[in-house]
Amino acid sequence: MDKILRINVGADGGPEFKTEPLGDYAGLGGRGLTSAIVSKEVPPTCHPLGEDNKLIIAPGLLSGSAAAMSGRISVGCKSPLTGGIKEANAGGQPSQMLGRLGYAAIVLEGKPKAKSLYKVFINKDGVKISEDNSMCMMGNYDVVDKMKAEYGEKIGVISIGPAGEQKLAGASIAFSDMELRPTRHAGRGGVGAVMGSKGIKAIVVDDAGCSVRSPANPDAFKAANKEFVAGLRKHPVSGEGMPAYGTNVLTNVINEAGAYPTKNFQWGQFDGCEKISGETQAETENARGGEGSATHGCHRGCVIRCSGTFYDKDGKYLTKQVEYETVWAHGGNCGIDDLDAIAQLDRLDDDFGLDTIEMGATIAVAMEGGVAEFGDAEAAIKLVKEVGAGTPMGKILGSGAAVAGKVFGVERVPVVKGQAMPAYDPRGIMGIGVTYATTTMGADHTAGYAVGSNIMGTGGKTDPLSPEGQAELSKNLQIATAAIDSTGMCLFIAFPLLDQPETFQALIDVINGFTGASLTADDVTELGKSILKNEREFNAAAGFTKKDDRLPDYFKKEPLGPHNITFQVSDEELDQVHNY
């Protein structure tokens, strides 16, 4: 990958494009590249939906190669939700395709002079941009079907739904999966709104005629990749639990730990947990049958295969296997214990282009504000449909939990930097609370997944109910995660990496075998630090201070049952997280 595709959507005659070499960005990929471009080229105080913001879509360093687990993609911009820098991560097929076409990034810049919608087609022969207003307010599923009819079945599609067109701060960007369904989303931070502000509805990628990227040292790369895959398969989480039960294997685990946020973070356990657990979900999927039901990869080259396919009671495809965060957001957090209803909500989120975490958190806030009753699945479905229809209520809900809290007069709003918290209560898992507070991204579990250590003992056990060691744990995980996000690797490789030193070394050997570099573990750490430095400097220039690295006050004041504990990591410790 040696080039950047820049699309200026503000040109007088409509969007124009050019390709250019990587230049100063050489050697970067994924989050490392998106954050570097945002930091260098986007004014920190600009309006996120204005002409000065840029949307960067970047495959990882290893994407397009034969490296296992390397099909993740990063999307970067200034976030309409947080007002700071954003990297949202997704699976799907486009990352590998862009890598094989030689593109390290697509950069959307400028502001359209008209309200037209455009589609972008990229293949080995070049780039074509066409106006297509027939897609106005079209859902992601219909967009993909339309693109298949025009360009064939061997494509990948990057698209936005009605939420992105409306420029709502909860809008996601969809990436098509192996079955050409828009089920993999760069969800967090409102990246779909930025794509909508650029007038780009869909980007179609066709890598026909392109070969797999060749490693610099084929023999070393092949041997290291084999060792890496073996390490993934022998670990109990990546090799057994997640393939069998998907990410939702965590539901019973986190509920038992007393850290499963229930009814808008009021309690740490949900009575209906067993009905929506990963075990029940897998049993349901297997009983209903269908291709890829309980075990499925989100992109080619995935060996963990923690996804699946959810069919309804009549055996008709409904959505991908609903992931842990989504099951929680639309399930326990809203008091809903019906897997079929949760799957319907997931399908609607994917079609309308909404972050499932933000949407579920927003509905729970609205429920606390009296808009609907906790546990009312039909009401939740109707509320999501309001977003797709573009009603005034829909625009409020599609703008995220922080906005909904203000509109409906709710004090308990679980956000940091304007972004909703995921499926772990920081009072019951204090390490993830540190990550929520201090990451550059707003409340984000993937930025430093302390749950592994706090709950499962991954990489060493830390007591989830004690503040001791949590700041240091989160700091180290945030550094490592930033580096992993740059490779195109799935974050779930972290479980074996932290527990099996030989698997971590195998990953470094994979990178070196492919690139021809001689990186060490220390080099990987320095890469992570450099990315975080870029991001924190951007946020500081945008107006963020240490006061923004805090949880809402009620987490320090309201004890969480069943442990009856508050968040106890001090502000002084939070302020030290990014002192490297």
Q: What is the pLDDT of residues 10-53, one digit of tens each?
A: 999 899 999 999 999 999 999 999 999 999 999 999 999 999 99
Which tokens go with 116?
A: 């037209």
Q: How confident is the model at residue 261 (pLDDT cuts 50, 70, 90)?
A: very high
- Between 241 and 450, residue with greater pLDDT: 450
Summarised one tens digit per residue, pLDDT across range 360-370 is 999 999 999 99
Mean pLDDT score, 419-447: 98
Provide the percentage of residues in the chain whose pLDDT is more than 70: 99
Whether 539 shows a pLDDT value over 80: the answer reads yes
Which tokens go with 82?
A: 């947080």
Domains of the chain: 3-205 (3.60.9.10), 247-421 (1.10.569.10)
Tell me, what's the pLDDT at 302?
Answer: 82
DSSP label at residue 546: G
DSSP label at residue 323: P
To 5 degrees, how large is the angle CA 388–CA 318–CA 393? Answer: 20
Mean pLDDT score, 508-520: 95
Q: How confident is the model at residue 65 (pLDDT cuts 50, 70, 90)?
A: very high
Whether 243 shows a pLDDT value over 90: the answer reads no
Mean pLDDT score, 296-301: 72
Give which of 576, 326, 536 is closest to 417, Cα–Cα: 536
Tell me, what's the pLDDT at 36?
Answer: 98
- Helices and strands in the chain, H and E counts: 24, 16
Task: Share the mean pLDDT of the chain.
Answer: 95
Whether 390 shows a pLDDT value over 70: the answer reads yes
Phi-psi region of 509 (alpha: psi -120 to 50; beta: other; left: phi over 0): alpha
Tell me, what's the pLDDT at 503?
Answer: 95
On the 0-12 / 13-18 / 19+ scale of CB atoms within 10 A, 258 is: buried
C-alpha span between 543 and 536 (Å, rounded) = 11
Q: How confident is the model at residue 245 (pLDDT cuts 50, 70, 90)?
A: confident
Supply the pTM of this predicted model: 0.97
Whether 266 shows a pLDDT value over 80: the answer reads yes
Summarised one tens digit per residue, pLDDT across range 300-351 is 778 877 788 999 999 999 999 999 999 999 999 999 999 999 999 999 999 9
Summarised one tens digit per residue, pLDDT across range 116-163 is 999 999 999 999 999 999 999 999 999 999 999 999 999 999 999 999
Summarised one tens digit per residue, pLDDT across range 194-209 is 999 999 999 999 999 9
On the 0-12 / 13-18 / 19+ scale of CB atoms within 10 A, 386 is: middle
C-alpha span between 298 and 315 (Å, rounded) = 21
Give which of 22, 24, 3, 33 is closest to 488, Cα–Cα: 33
Which tokens go with 408?
A: 């409906």
Cβ–Cβ under 8 Å, residues 57 and 106: yes
C-alpha span between 247 and 304 (Å, rounded) = 11
C-alpha span between 198 and 108 (Å, rounded) = 7
Mean pLDDT score, 492-520: 94
- CA 469 remoteness from chain centre: 27
Tell me, what's the pLDDT at 237?
Answer: 87
Tell me, what's the pLDDT at 303?
Answer: 84
Summarised one tens digit per residue, pLDDT across range 80-92 is 999 999 999 999 9
- CA 239 remoteness from chain centre: 22
Tell me, what's the pLDDT at 294?
Answer: 62
Cβ–Cβ under 8 Å, residues 417 and 411: no
Give which of 317, 348, 326 is closest to 276, Cα–Cα: 326
C-alpha span between 230 and 239 (Å, rounded) = 9
Summarised one tens digit per residue, pLDDT across range 393-430 is 999 999 999 999 999 999 999 999 999 999 999 999 99
Cβ–Cβ under 8 Å, residues 121 and 157: no
- CA 312 remoteness from chain centre: 26
Mean pLDDT score, 224-230: 95
Mean pLDDT score, 282-288: 89
Summarised one tens digit per residue, pLDDT across range 447-478 is 999 999 999 999 999 999 999 999 999 999 99
C-alpha span between 260 and 378 (Å, rounded) = 23
Mean pLDDT score, 173-184: 96
The residues facing 186 across adjacent strands are: 173
Q: How confident is the model at residue 358 (pLDDT cuts 50, 70, 90)?
A: very high
To 5 degrees, how large is the angle CA 76–CA 77–CA 82? Answer: 110
Tell me, what's the pLDDT at 122?
Answer: 98
Mean pLDDT score, 519-533: 96
Mean pLDDT score, 365-384: 98
Q: How confident is the model at residue 292 (pLDDT cuts 50, 70, 90)?
A: low
Instruction: Read off φ and ψ for residue 465, nearest 5 degrees.
Output: -100, 10
